[in-house]
Structure 1
């Protein structure tokens, strides 16, 4: 099931984020990983997220969309490969048919995932949104 997040789910959301980042973002330096963690902990628990939850309403993954741009999609590492991320993306596309997103170039798994979902590259930035040296690939869904 996919539903909006609730204010009391911040701790679980951060757990999902940390697990997913640790599983997929091995290119981050330890200092950058720590700085990003601090920033994320400051805003993510309060952000309006879409959650994928299990039959007990326990969050397994989340997505953040801002004005048609998917800012975040993170899946609990134990749930990777189960279709939960794809279900969230499809939910987002139902709301925003021309949804865009950015993905770290070094995250090959994510790049392939979005390509399989029908996203096409529209550009590239040599740095991430905070000015760090992690190139981003800009993507847009093309149906």
Structure 2
């Protein structure tokens, strides 16, 4: 079921909740990460994403963040949806916003995250190339995707 959500700027007051969404989403989709890796990534996500780039979110009826996208055009740097809200079209709407309104045409996906790869391919992205390390220099291979012409 696809619903329509209002997209707004993530504020600094939203950061604790956004980190909760990130962690829940990672635990639901990144089964290749152990607990130590998740905990070591959390401050990097706070610093490199939430505090240093434009981040846009959707909220539930109580105004709690349920999904967010971070974009440094032309690249989607982060997309995380609360697992309880997966399947409602939030990710699709945030990616469409990133493409249509923010000029995004690139995204990186962990090679081991088949769900994300399939999601982006369904939205028109294709694999351009691969690297052995993630954006933090960790040994998690990345697939670099670009929006198909």
TM-score scaled by structure 2? 0.88
* Unmatched runs of 5 consecutive residues or more in structure 1: none
Aligned to 1:3: 8
Q: Work out the CA distance in 2 between the residues paired with 1:38 and 1:3.
A: 23
What's the CA shift for 1:52?
Answer: 1.3
Question: Does the Cα contact within 8 Å between 1:126 and 1:133 map onto a contact in 2?
Answer: yes
Aligned to 1:14: 19
What's the CA shift for 1:49?
Answer: 0.8
Root-mean-square deviation (CA), in Å?
A: 1.6
Where do 4+ consecutive residues of structure 1 move more than 4 Å?
A: none
Q: Does 1:46 align with 2:54?
A: no
Closer, same or farther: CA 140–46 of 1 in aligned 2, 3 Å: same
Aligned to 2:118: 112
What's the CA shift for 1:53?
Answer: 1.7
Please give the residue correspondences for 1:27-106 in structure 2 after superposition, counting only pairs within 5 Å: 27-47=32-52, 48-97=54-103, 99-106=105-112
* Unmatched runs of 5 consecutive residues or more in structure 2: 1-5
Aligned to 1:129: 135
Which sits farther off after the overlay, 28-37 or 121-130?
28-37
Closer, same or farther: CA 102–79 of 1 in aligned 2, 3 Å: same
